[in-house]
Amino acid sequence: MKDLREFIDQVQELGELKVVEGANWEWEMGAITYYMAEQPNPPALLFDKVKGYPPGFRVFTIPCSTQKRLALSCEQPVNLDRLELVRALRDKMSQHYKSVPPVVVKKGPVMENIDTGDEVDLFKFPTPQWQPLDGGRYIGTGDTVITKDPDEGWVNVGVYRIQIHDKTTATIFMEPGRHANIIRRKYWARGQSCPVAVTLGGDLLHFNIGTTRIPWGVSEYDYTGWFRGEPMDVIKGPITGLPIPAHAEIVLEGEMVPPEVETRVEGPFSEYTGHYSPARPEPVFRVKSVMYRNDPIILGALPYYAAGVPYVPNYLWRAAHVWEELDRIVPGVKGVWIPTEFGSNRAVVISLEQKYGGHAQQAALAALAVRGYMQRYVIVVDDDVDPTNLNEVLWAMSYRAEPEEFEIIRGFWGGTLDPRLSPEKRAAGDFTLSSAIILAVKPYRWMKDFPVSVKPSLELREKVKRKWDKKLFP
């Protein structure tokens, strides 16, 4: 799928799209999105005829909150279950990576309209104020931010929230350690502004890859081309010269100035943690050009923290990445899952066939190193436990884990979005946190003497499924 519109068309073919007309950008679009996301198998929402805006200027939300749409957004078969989908992504990641750079084209749909100079007006688009206490209108939640390393020359694409302040001014919030934050600081150290381009809706696969943590120096453009098996089409940004997806919906071009030049107060914002993140001064993003398609669509990936409701599928990609990395150094991994019930990527569950003493501990420590940022819990379960089934995981924690044996890792990589960060640590600029390792496995030393589980074996369950599925579920 080259663009967001192809994804929306396929969602409609699945019968999972609902068009909402006449909503107000101020809180109402956010409230409707939250309300619908709480329903069983919520449809994707396409807001049109937003109050105060012409028909055709639209906002698309809840893109990936069913299993079929999750698979579709990753360009995988829609009939895969959760662990099968992670395994499919893991299998692709385990193949030899060979970059497939984008192809520069002269024209693309994103160039249908171009505003520069006095024509630039960020309020032209129906940007939501998602929640009542948000510090303003956030045009970028389902966006991609494009920068280029001034020393090494590679192009980074990441996902960071973007707040509008006036017609030509925005801010882009980035946590410490993020690749784009490292890149822009290189420019600032030289007394220069950082060139930047931002897409506000586009290729879902490219967006998904932008939410993951691929290695430093690897461009998300090249990675997307490799994953898909064909290069992306890009145009050369007329202001920045940066590569820009030719099929994007809306693109902002400009520069992020050094913080000593100008800042604006960014936030608060209703973050994925389920809490408002605090307001803070952020360097200004001066927008010099806006390109957009006819009838443009903003992708609204509104952070939603409710149990089991993913707002973007980055947890799938991260679970697959952990699994792929563990396979390199730890034998016996049968599955990896990141349960959204813990709140967007705060926990990882590993299903493991134990083969030696210390095996479970080794897998947990390796996963913690791979996962990194704001990781609260690593839970290891035996291979008879489905890591995607939270009921089974909690059962294993209740009957196979010993709380006095939990390991606590202190001083781990955290961030300013952590609501548990104390005022004292925040004031001191100490954003570290502690992580817990929970070994919910049979003790290896006496594993053979551990009481036998009453659960039917995987082999028996598969046999029953093959024989009885069509009769039980005609």
Q: What's the CATH code of the domain at 425? A: 3.40.1670.10
pTM of the model: 0.85
End-to-end CA distance of the chain: 33
pLDDT by residue for the chain (474 residues), tens digit each? 889 999 999 999 999 999 999 999 998 998 898 888 878 888 999 999 999 999 999 999 999 888 899 899 999 999 999 899 999 999 999 999 999 999 999 999 999 999 999 999 999 999 999 988 999 999 999 999 999 999 999 999 999 999 999 999 999 999 888 999 999 999 999 999 999 999 999 999 999 999 888 899 999 999 999 999 999 999 999 999 999 999 999 999 999 999 999 999 999 998 877 788 889 999 999 999 999 999 999 999 877 545 445 556 788 888 999 999 999 999 999 999 988 888 766 889 999 999 999 999 999 999 988 877 788 899 999 999 999 999 999 999 999 999 999 999 898 888 888 888 899 998 998 988 889 999 999 999 999 999 988 877 778 878 888 888 888 877
Which conformational region is residue 153 in: left (phi greater than 0), alpha (psi within -120 to 50 degrees), or beta? left
Q: Do residues 291 and 113 lie in contact, with contact meaning Cβ atoms separated by under 8 Å?
A: yes
Same-domain pairing of 218 and 346: no
Phi, psi of 96 (to 5 degrees): -65, 125
SS3 313: coil
Q: Which residues pair with 335 in a beta bridge?
A: 351
Residue 364 forms part of a structural domain: yes
Q: 43 in helix, strand or coil?
A: coil
| pLDDT in the model for residue 15 | 96
Summarised one tens digit per residue, pLDDT across range 234-260 is 999 999 999 999 999 999 999 999 999
Give the structural domain span for 442.
330-472
CA–CA separation, 275 and 390 (whole Å): 23
Cα distance between residue 290 and residue 114, in whole Å: 6
CA 1 to mean position of chain CA atoms: 18
Residue 251 and residue 199 share a domain: yes
Instruction: Decide which of 300, 321, 356 is a domain's last residue.
Output: 300
Asked whether residue 385 is domain-assigned, the answer is yes
* pLDDT for residue 315: 83
Query: pLDDT at position 40, please?
Result: 82
In a domain, 311, yes or no: no
Residue 307's pLDDT is: 46
Burial class of residue 436, CB neighbours in 10 A (0-12, 13-18, 19+): middle
Evaluate whether residue 339 is within a structural domain.
Answer: yes
Question: Nearest Cα to 316, choosing from 60, 39, 73?
Answer: 73
Catalogue the E-assigned strands of 38-102. Answer: 44-48, 58-61
Give a yes or no: residue 308 inside a domain. Answer: no
**Residue 309 within any structural domain of the chain:** no
DSSP 8-state symbol, 42? P
| CATH number, domain containing residue 144 | 2.30.110.10
Q: Is residue 208 part of a domain?
A: yes
Q: How many domains does the chain have?
A: 2
Asked whether residue 221 falls in the same domain as residue 89, the answer is yes
